[in-house]
């Protein structure tokens, strides 16, 4: 289909030579009366040619009106003057014309000018089409991001709802937890449950990395530990961690997030304790008398490879507290080995407190120093005097 030229001229103008040149150059012609007010359908038009003659004011007014109607759409406008005239040339160029030619016309120059205009129009249409596609894509992305945002909010609500609300009390053993959800896709989790009349299982964990499935994965790992303890009542904490690691590996997750966890099994009558650690910060024992100590128990993150987890055996005395924290308590939130001196100092400053007041005070102390938005979880296991 040949490109279309909108030829605008007054009835008195001589435009027959232009019509012949345009037809010879392979253009289709649409006629328009210079200065007429009815709207123009610019959709099929590739370039406009305005025969100015001695009516530069009328031509300038028409071109300005067209520019207003077209807005950001590019339509090349070529003006043809009867004779060289600097004032008329400046006037139509200021009104929005793209080029000015004067009679007598050279056919090759006119055709080259129109081909240039066609290329400009074609390029502008191509850019406009891509811009429209980009706007559509942008709208789709905005809707997708809005949906993701809603799903993140839903995931956060479900994750918080899955956290245990009440912790068991067996004999003189009491649990206290402080969970501060600071990230929308945080992965901290914790649990405590009675295994029988005298023994209690407890755990704290963290699914590390930007994943929306952190809460679900944490719940899965916690349930695997609980089930392993039910099936093997005499299992040590290290054995339970090994079972959780094996269950994670069986999922065969691609790009699996790191999972850190600490598991403990406590005899509430004797205070005998086995505890095992997989990547979580070292637990801290705050005795009723004496200095707090950190238990540096080795153990790799869960779900990376087959591994064994050694159990640390100890005995908690009346008045002792055992503090377990996720890496959100560290100033920079770094998982793995790190200097937990700030946590030890906070626990020392707050050691006179007990139960919920103790973990809340330690959390408040640490939160004043953190430089991240990761979740903060502290679980305290205490034996009353």
Residue 151 maps to a domain: no
Stretch 283-311: mean pLDDT, rounded? 90
CB contact at 8 A, 292 and 281: no
Residue 150 maps to a domain: no
- Which of 130, 145, 173 is the last residue before a domain boundary? 130
**Could you report the per-residue pLDDT of 67-79, keeping only the tens digit for each?**
999 988 899 999 9
173 with 116, same domain: the answer is: no
Domain encompassing residue 11 = 4-130
217 with 349, same domain: the answer is: yes
- Which of 89, 106, 130 is the last residue before a domain boundary? 130
CA dihedral sign of residues 314, 320, 326, 327: negative
Is it the case that residue 12 has pLDDT exceeding 90?
A: no
- Which of 87, 114, 130 is the last residue before a domain boundary? 130
Q: Determine the pLDDT at residue 212.
A: 61
Q: Determine the pLDDT at residue 224.
A: 92
124 with 177, same domain: the answer is: no
Residue 156 maps to a domain: no
253 with 367, same domain: the answer is: yes
Q: What is the dihedral of CA 311, 237, 220, 255, to 10 degrees?
A: 10
Is it the case that residue 374 has pLDDT exceeding 60?
A: yes
174 with 269, same domain: the answer is: yes
Is it the case that residue 21 has pLDDT exceeding 70?
A: yes
Nearest to 187 by CA among 166, 165, 209, 167: 209
Higher pLDDT residue, 294 or 1? Answer: 294
CATH number of domain containing 286: 3.60.40.10
Residue 81 maps to a domain: yes
87 with 231, same domain: the answer is: no
Q: Determine the pLDDT at residue 160.
A: 73
302 with 178, same domain: the answer is: yes
91 with 183, same domain: the answer is: no
Q: Determine the pLDDT at residue 63.
A: 93
Stretch 253-260: mean pLDDT, rounded? 80
CB contact at 8 A, 278 and 344: no
CA dihedral sign of residues 353, 356, 360, 363: positive
326 confidence band (pLDDT: 50, 70, 90): confident
Q: Determine the pLDDT at residue 341.
A: 78
Of 222-236, 243-257, 329-343, the poorest mean pLDDT is in 329-343
Residue 269 maps to a domain: yes
**Could you report the per-residue pLDDT of 137-158, keeping only the tens digit for each?**
999 999 988 887 887 777 777 7
Residue 142 maps to a domain: no
Residue 23 maps to a domain: yes
Instruction: Tally the domains of the chain.
Output: 2
Stretch 174-185: mean pLDDT, rounded? 82
Looking at the chain, the whole-number percentage of residues with pLDDT higher than 70 is 92
Residue 57 maps to a domain: yes
202 confidence band (pLDDT: 50, 70, 90): very high
126 with 172, same domain: the answer is: no
CATH number of domain containing 89: 3.40.50.2300
Nearest to 246 by CA among 277, 225, 219, 215: 225
CB contact at 8 A, 202 and 379: yes
CA dihedral sign of residues 144, 220, 166, 367: negative
Is it the case that residue 322 has pLDDT exceeding 90?
A: yes
93 with 177, same domain: the answer is: no
349 with 238, same domain: the answer is: yes
28 with 115, same domain: the answer is: yes
């Amino acid at each position: 289909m040949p490109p279309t030229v909108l030829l605008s001229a007054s009835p008195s103008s001589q435009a027959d030579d232009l019509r012949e040149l345009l037809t010879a150059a392979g253009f289709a012609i649409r006629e328009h009366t210079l200065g007429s007010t009815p709207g123009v359908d610019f959709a099929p038009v590739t370039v406009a040619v305005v025969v100015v003659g001695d009516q530069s004011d009328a031509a300038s007014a028409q071109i300005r009106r067209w520019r207003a109607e077209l807005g950001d759409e590019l339509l090349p406008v070529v003006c043809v003057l009867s004779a060289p005239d600097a004032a008329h040339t400046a006037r139509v160029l200021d009104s929005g014309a793209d080029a000015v030619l004067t009679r007598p016309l050279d056919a090759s120059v006119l055709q080259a000018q129109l081909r240039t205009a066609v290329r400009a129009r074609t390029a502008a249409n191509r850019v406009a089409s891509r811009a429209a596609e980009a706007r559509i894509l942008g709208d789709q992305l905005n809707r997708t991001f809005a949906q993701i945002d809603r799903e993140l909010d839903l995931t956060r609500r479900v994750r918080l709802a899955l956290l245990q609300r009440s912790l068991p009390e067996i004999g003189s053993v009491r649990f206290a937890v402080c969970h501060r959800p600071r990230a929308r896709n945080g992965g901290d989790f914790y649990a405590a449950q009675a295994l029988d009349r005298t023994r209690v299982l407890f755990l704290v964990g963290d699914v590390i990395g930007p994943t929306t499935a952190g809460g679900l994965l944490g719940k899965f790992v916690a349930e695997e530990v609980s089930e392993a303890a039910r099936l093997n009542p005499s299992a040590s904490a290290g054995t339970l961690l090994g079972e959780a690691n094996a269950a994670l590996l069986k999922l065969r997750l691609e790009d699996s997030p790191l999972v850190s966890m600490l598991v403990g099994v406590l005899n509430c009558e004797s205070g005998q304790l086995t505890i095992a650690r997989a990547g979580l910060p070292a637990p801290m024992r705050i005795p009723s008398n004496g200095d707090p100590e950190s238990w540096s128990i080795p153990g790799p993150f869960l779900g990376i490879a087959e591994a064994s987890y050694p159990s640390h055996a100890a005995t908690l005395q009346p008045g002792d507290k055992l503090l377990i924290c996720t890496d959100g308590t560290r100033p920079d939130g770094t998982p793995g080995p790190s200097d937990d001196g700030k946590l030890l100092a906070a626990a020392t400053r707050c050691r006179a407190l007990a139960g919920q007041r103790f973990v809340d005070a330690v959390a408040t102390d640490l939160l004043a120093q953190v430089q991240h938005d990761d979740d903060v979880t502290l679980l305290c296991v205490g034996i009353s005097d």
